Amino acid sequence: MSTTHVTTRIATLVKNMEEHGFAGMAVNAGPSLTYLTGLHFHLMERPVVFVFTPASPVTIILPELERAKLTGLPFPASVYPYGEDPGGWENIFKEALEAIGLSGAKIGVEPRQLRLLEYKLLRGACQDVQFTDGSSLVAGPRSIKDDDELLLMRQAVMIAEDALEETLLKVKIGVSEKEIASELFLQLIGHGSETSLPFSPIVAAGPNGANPHAKPSGRKLQEGDLLVIDWGASFGGYASDLTRTFGVGKLDAESEKIHHLVQRANEAGRLAGKPGVTCDFVDSTTRNVIEQGGYGQHFTHRTGHGIGMECHEEPYIRNENNQQLQAGMTYTIEPGIYLPGKNGVRIEDDVVVTLTGAESLSTMSRKIRYVGA
Amino acid sequence: MSTTHVTTRIATLVKNMEEHGFAGMAVNAGPSLTYLTGLHFHLMERPVVFVFTPASPVTIILPELERAKLTGLPFPASVYPYGEDPGGWENIFKEALEAIGLSGAKIGVEPRQLRLLEYKLLRGACQDVQFTDGSSLVAGPRSIKDDDELLLMRQAVMIAEDALEETLLKVKIGVSEKEIASELFLQLIGHGSETSLPFSPIVAAGPNGANPHAKPSGRKLQEGDLLVIDWGASFGGYASDLTRTFGVGKLDAESEKIHHLVQRANEAGRLAGKPGVTCDFVDSTTRNVIEQGGYGQHFTHRTGHGIGMECHEEPYIRNENNQQLQAGMTYTIEPGIYLPGKNGVRIEDDVVVTLTGAESLSTMSRKIRYVGA
């Protein structure tokens, strides 16, 4: 990440804080901290907290051992390192936060990322501060991807598609879900994915495909199975998340029918996005295709989720979410039909909102493809 | 995990709650939840919370979509599933917690795992409940490994050792840290590690080795480097975490000297553990060797950390930790010497406390080994 990115992102955060009446934003180890600073910290037993304010340098509380990561920071900072004894945490948080002087102010935090561990330390250090959900101050800007970010996401998609093509060469009747998942994993790494995948691939055939969150099992592919593969790659800190459903040998008529229905729903969903339309609209446009096909009660989840540094982030493509899409937002379109005890279909793409519509970052064919003997 | 494990573990938790005056324990997605229930939930945008109490069935709040995971639960449960709209979370938490009737009680939580997201929902659902750090109610039992757990940990160690031996065949002058890390990663998976490693391997040579948390770089191995490799495997949900330091070609006298000193410290540390001695004692026994060798100020971190389902967990082997070791506890012994701008050495083993002492789960030689042209 360039120095320009970091300084622009912090400036945007400060502008958002001022517009919404926040005197500061406390961010702990996680994707938002990486987004804002370019630094990587694991969420570990030791707290790492950065406090951003309009006036002061960035206040950084971290283990002494991690201090080397701050070399050459592109923004002014006041650093409060601490040693091995957790008994010292309370005092260092007090010292750091008293130096900023936030008495009576409203400070933003991310409830999905901040643990009680850090919250109690912050709360103990400034008892008259009002800690408030400030997620949107960072999630808003994070949801709009710039060209550099889109390049990384396109690469994460390409790695995933190439890895699956290579894996499919070994997919046939008699091979187990677990064997396919292992091969896919190695192909993802071999094609350049970071080793920490956004999620463990789902490979689920026949009745296992009826569980949207199935884990690969020892079950072997059988003639007539629908085979769901849900997989993704990580590249440059960004995720891809795709699903394709294959036919094993000859399918019965209903399996072909539901695959075709989901394919049409996926297409409708991919085309529905543009600046100004709501997430609810994209969800209902996708869902309507399946409802009109008579399988509405078997599409049991939301249509999609935002994707970027996290595999699940804003915007969530679901019923009743009136958030409006903006150019640069990226999200999945992943309709499915699940017939318990029988089979399942899901077809998932990653799309980006353009100035006039939406473009799919993934291009692998969604038509039914057959694998066999 | 067997049904017996789960029911025994929940019974132990209940006993601990009663002994320490807790009316319940709220556990969100994470390793403790897996330990107690055998179920795997990711920490995602949707909250998953289990509330354990002495009297009632286990109260489970989770997304409808995850409900299939509860099939065949080996304990009685009251399940509160919720749909796609986060607007419904508050009510479902209220409904679930009012049904338990915890008014005025003390409920345990894990501050290192519980996010503000779940905490606010719990707090909103029962405002007169006192949520208190109850980490030790689970961390205590978790820190004592039974024979089945030790078997998995021994396997995680064996996979790691075998993978490194295979990797070393390709380690020579001119190969980069990143190339070694990639090969090691593939060998770990190839030898049977789960694909989600406990951590990304550290491969750091020459001056890079002076940073205990270095990331593998493009720097190529050079004659005279000390090469630090810190790596581990995951097996059956348990981690291993080892470090060895190698000589590249011919080393200078000081490099050999500090390697030997760390090797002696590692040995002292491995032998220091037994039931009843404190973590502080193990730390100081290890540290004294390096201090007496004149390099005390270059051993900049604690001696070790507990290891099990998490790569870092209780007990922490550090100065001023008066926790007493018990048979079945497992932790790392990882002394190091770091000479900024020059090089570094670390030698790390995973040990288990026995009835009379401590046994290293890892057996790969700690003596200096040379890799070359």
pLDDT at residue B122, rounded to an integer: 97
Question: Is the pLDDT at B75 greater than 90, yes or no?
Answer: yes
Q: What mean pLDDT is predicted for residues B154-176?
A: 97
What is the Cα–Cα distance from A373 to B12, expressed in whole angstroms?
52
Report CB contact under 8 Å: A213, B65: yes
Phi, psi of B317 (to 5 degrees): -90, 85
Question: Is the pLDDT at A56 greater than 80, yes or no?
Answer: no
Q: How far is B227 from chain A (nearest CA, A)?
A: 19
Q: Identify the CA nearest to A146 among candidates A236, A215, A77, A208.
A: A236
Report CB contact under 8 Å: A117, B112: yes
Q: Report pTM.
A: 0.91
Closest residue on chain A to B193 (Cα)? A182
Contacts by A211-216, CB closer than 8 A, 24 or more apart:
A211/A338, A211/A344, A211/B68, A212/A300, A212/A301, A212/A336, A212/A338, A212/A344, A212/A346, A212/B65, A213/B65, A213/B66, A213/B68, A213/B69, A216/A176, A216/A177, A216/A178, A216/A180, A216/A181
What stretch of H or E contains B119? helix B116-125
Write out the two tokens for B7.
């029911």
Question: Is the pLDDT at A288 greater than 80, yes or no?
Answer: yes
Q: How confident is the model at residue B1 (pLDDT cuts 50, 70, 90)?
A: low
Question: Is the pLDDT at A1 greater than 70, yes or no?
Answer: no
Considering CB atoms only, which of A65, A111, A302 is closest to B84? A302
Mutation for B interface: A44, A66, A84, most B CBs within 10 A: A84
Closest residue on chain B to A132 (Cα)? B116
pLDDT at residue B2, rounded to an integer: 67
Report CB contact under 8 Å: B185, A196: no
Cβ pair B189, B195 in contact under 8 A: yes
Q: How confident is the model at residue B144 (pLDDT cuts 50, 70, 90)?
A: very high
Report CB contact under 8 Å: A195, B185: yes
- The mean predicted confidence, pLDDT, of chain B is 95
Partners of B300 on chain A (C-beta within 8 Å) are: 64-65
Q: How far is A40 from chain B (nearest CA, A)?
A: 11
Considering CB atoms only, which of A114, A200, A301 is closest to B195? A200
Report CB contact under 8 Å: B211, A68: yes
pLDDT at residue B340, rounded to an integer: 94
Q: Identify the CA nearest to B272 among candidates B259, B286, B261, B258.
A: B286
Closest residue on chain A to B187 (Cα)? A186
**Radius of gyration of chain B from Cα atoms?**
23
Closest residue on chain B to A193 (Cα)? B182
Concatenated DSSP letters for A35-101? HHHS------SS--EEEE-SSSPEEEEEEGGGGGGGTT-SS-EEEEEE-S-GGGHHHHHHHHHHHHT
Q: How many CB pairs under 8 A join A and B?
A: 93
Closest residue on chain A to B305 (Cα)? A45
Q: Where is pLDDT greater, at A182 or A328? A: A328
Q: Percent of chain B having pLDDT more than 70?
A: 99
Q: Could you tell me the fold of the domain covering B144-371?
A: Creatine Amidinohydrolase (3.90.230)
What is the Cα–Cα distance from B163 to B188, expressed in whole angstroms?
5
Phi, psi of B349 (to 5 degrees): -125, 160
Could you tell me where in chain B the CATH 3.40.350.10 domains are found?
3-142
Report CB contact under 8 Å: A84, B319: yes
> Chain B interface residues facing chain A, Cβ-Cβ under 8 Å?
42, 44-45, 64-66, 68-69, 84-85, 87, 109-117, 119-120, 185-186, 189, 195-197, 199-200, 211-213, 300-302, 305, 312-313, 316, 318-320
Q: How confident is the model at residue A43 (pLDDT cuts 50, 70, 90)?
A: confident
Write out the two tokens for A149.
């970010």
Q: What mean pLDDT is predicted for residues A110-139?
A: 96
User: Mean pLDDT lowest for which of A230-244, A254-268, B92-106, B149-163?
Assistant: B92-106
Query: Per-residue pLDDT tens for A216-250?
Result: 999 999 999 999 999 999 999 999 999 999 999 99
Partners of A44 on chain B (C-beta within 8 Å) are: 312
The 3-state DSSP class for residue A21 equals coil
Please tell me the number of Cα atoms within 13 Å of B248 on its side-chain side: 27
- Please state which CATH number belongs to domain B3-142: 3.40.350.10
Query: Per-residue pLDDT tens for A5-30?
Result: 889 999 999 999 999 999 999 999 99
User: Mean pLDDT lowest for which of A52-56, A275-279, A280-284, B261-265?
Assistant: A52-56
Task: Write the ipTM.
Answer: 0.88
Closest residue on chain B to A187 (Cα)? B186
pLDDT at residue A16, rounded to an integer: 97
Partners of A287 on chain B (C-beta within 8 Å) are: none
pLDDT at residue B5, rounded to an integer: 85
Q: How confident is the model at residue B4 (pLDDT cuts 50, 70, 90)?
A: confident
Partners of A85 on chain B (C-beta within 8 Å) are: 318-320
Q: Identify the CA nearest to B286 among candidates B256, B316, B308, B262.
A: B262
Could you tell me where in chain A the CATH 3.90.230.10 domains are found?
144-371
Question: Is the pLDDT at B82 greater than 70, yes or no?
Answer: yes
For chain A, the distance separating the N- and C-terminal CA atoms, rounded to the nearest angstrom, is 47
* Matching residue, tokens 């770091």: B338
Beta strands in chain B (DSSP E): 24-28, 49-52, 58-63, 77-82, 106-109, 130-133, 202-205, 226-231, 234-235, 238-239, 242-248, 304-306, 313-317, 330-333, 336-339, 343-346, 349-353, 358-360, 370-371
What is the Cα–Cα distance from A213 to A203, expressed in whole angstroms?
10
Question: Is the pLDDT at B62 greater than 70, yes or no?
Answer: yes
What stretch of H or E contains B255? helix B253-272
Mutation for A interface: B40, B65, B69, B84, most A CBs within 10 A: B84
pLDDT at residue A68, rounded to an integer: 85
Partners of B213 on chain A (C-beta within 8 Å) are: 65-66, 68-69
